[in-house]
Structure 1
Amino acid sequence: MAALMPAPHAIGVFPHFCQHRMPIALRIREKKLSFTGDDFKIKDAATGAVIFEVDGKAFSLHGRKEFLDAQGTHLFTLRKELFHLHTTFEGRTPDDRTLFTIKSSFSFGTKLTATYTNPTTGQEEKLVLKGDFFDRKAEIFWGEQVVARIDRNFVNAGQLIFDQQSYVLHVAPGVDIALLTAFCVALDEKANESK
């Protein structure tokens, strides 16, 4: 597996979460026995430190998930948009402004595209997630550059007993780990739709 090269500038919507200078690996796992079944804990895979928590809202029509940083600050809400031909998620700020959109498209395997305005450059950018047919692995591209990889532990004890997903997200230096975590949760939601 080729090393993830640093991004040419901060890529994403949260400059603060683009500041890592080395590749980082995050473990993303659904919480056991959560009330909604859609709560996640995201930890640094090397240290075990909690980086984000995702709180799935019970009884939400849009399947809302609130993303919180390690201090409990609400960063954004990921919600599924209704009445779209393709599965579409929006990341919205606490004051309900759209930060990014993640949309699926027809392809062999899985393809998700995130569009957003980069606050560092002021330009609209795209990240594209492409996965294999079984979604065991996926890569996220910025143009032609691979900026992240997702490895799913396809069969693990949590999955067998509680039907929970576990992912490891490898992120290149300078790439927004909050936005890429949202990609993983959207991938999980899309996989759940096909069950």
Structure 2
Amino acid sequence: MTTQQSTGYNEVAVIDKKFCLPRSIDLTISKNIWKIGQANFVVTKSNGEIIFKIHGAIFSFNTTRVMYDAVGMPIVTLRKKTFNLLSTWQVFRGEGKDQKDLIFSVRRSSFFQLKTKLSVFVAENSDVCDYTVQADWFQRFCQVYFGDSTNTKLAQVDKNLSVDSLITGGDRFKVKVYPNVDCAFIVALIVILDEITSQAKRSSNNKEKR
């Protein structure tokens, strides 16, 4: 992870500097539900061009996601830590899973939350929160911030409901990534946020059925 001063803004290159643009970019993340219960995501620019795809790994039991670029090369792998009360996910370079490949980790800020707040820690740092995701999926929006405050916003996400999403069980996210911010990093955070909130919803539904 590198955080360097840029003209009028901090450059945030967590996954790779090549995913930072000098201007804001609007993205759409479309989520579809597979028959086996896993989700896949397709990320497009405003002109419809696909830039990322995120698939669940086969036989991963909903604990592994791989982000690919437009030509199918793996960028990062998202892995959920098992037996973790704070729903921790780790993001590794490429298809890695060893500590040397770890880029950053994400976890819920606390166990009991009225609104979802995630803390993000870069690989070399496990004590101080580097980035924060604050979400209210009931109101269908979230923001990503630099550090553990709301002073510097890096991205904003709106979750849109559509007729298709109600039929397929998928969702569509409208994302504005601010200038000089790693858009692959932002997309990875949104996928993790969706996985955490979806798991919480499934757990709640299972309890109600008992």
Query: TM-score range with shorter-chain normalisation?
Result: 0.7 to 0.9
| Equivalent residue, structure 2, for 1:66 | 66
Map of 1:46-195 to 2, 5 A cutoff?
A: 46-61=46-61, 63-93=63-93, 94-96=95-97, 97-106=101-110, 107-116=113-122, 126-132=130-136, 134=138, 136-143=140-147, 144-153=151-160, 155-195=161-201
Gaps of 5+ in 2: 1-6, 202-210
Maintained 8 Å contact 1:139/1:146 = yes
CA–CA separation in structure 2 for the residues paired with 1:102 and 1:92:
12
Report the alpha carbon displacement of residue 113 of structure 1 after superposing the two structures with TM.
1.5
CA contact (8 A) 1:43 1:50 kept: yes
Distance, in Å, in 2 between the alignment partners of 1:171 and 1:83 is: 33
Moved beyond 6 Å, runs of 4+: none
Q: Tell me, yes or no, if the aligned pair for 2:157 and 2:176 is still in contact at 8 Å.
A: yes
Percent of aligned positions that are identical: 26
TM-score w.r.t. the length of structure 1 is: 0.84
Cα distance in 2, alignment partners of residues 103 and 6 from structure 1 = 30
Deviation at 1:135, TM superposition (A): 5.5
1:101 shift after superposition: 0.4
Q: Cα deviation per residue 1:140-159 (whole Å; 9 max; x = unaligned)?
A: 10032011001001x31122
| Cα distance in 2 for residues equivalent to 1:7 and 1:125 | 20
Highest RCO, 1 vs 2 (Cα 8 Å, sep ≥ 6): 1
Give the equivalent residue in structure 1 for 2:9: 7
Following the alignment from structure 2 to structure 1, what is the Cα–Cα distance between the partners of residues 176 and 136?
17
Give unpaired runs (5+ residues) of structure 1: 119-123
1:22 alignment partner, SS class: coil
1:70-124, CA deviations, whole angstroms, 9 ceiling, x for partnerless residues?
1211011111111212011111122331111011123330101221159xxxxx8
Report the more deviating stretch, 77-86 or 93-102: 93-102
> Closer, same or farther in 2 for the Cα pair 1:99/1:28, shift >3 Å?
same
**Are 2:23 and 1:22 aligned?**
yes
RMSD between superposed Cα atoms in Å: 2.3
Task: Please give the alpha-carbon distance, in whole angstroms, between the structure 1 residues aligned to 2:197 and 2:63.
Answer: 14
- Whole-Å Cα distance in 2 between the matches of residues 125 and 185 of structure 1? 19
- Which structure has the larger Rg over C-alpha atoms? 2
- For 1:167 and 1:6, the matched residues in 2 are separated by 28
Q: Give the letter for the 2:80 counterpart.
A: K
Shift of 1:173: 0.8
In 2: Cα distance, 1:6 partner to 1:78 partner? 32
For the 8 Å contact 2:33–2:39, the answer to whether it is kept is: no
Flag the structure with higher helix content: 2
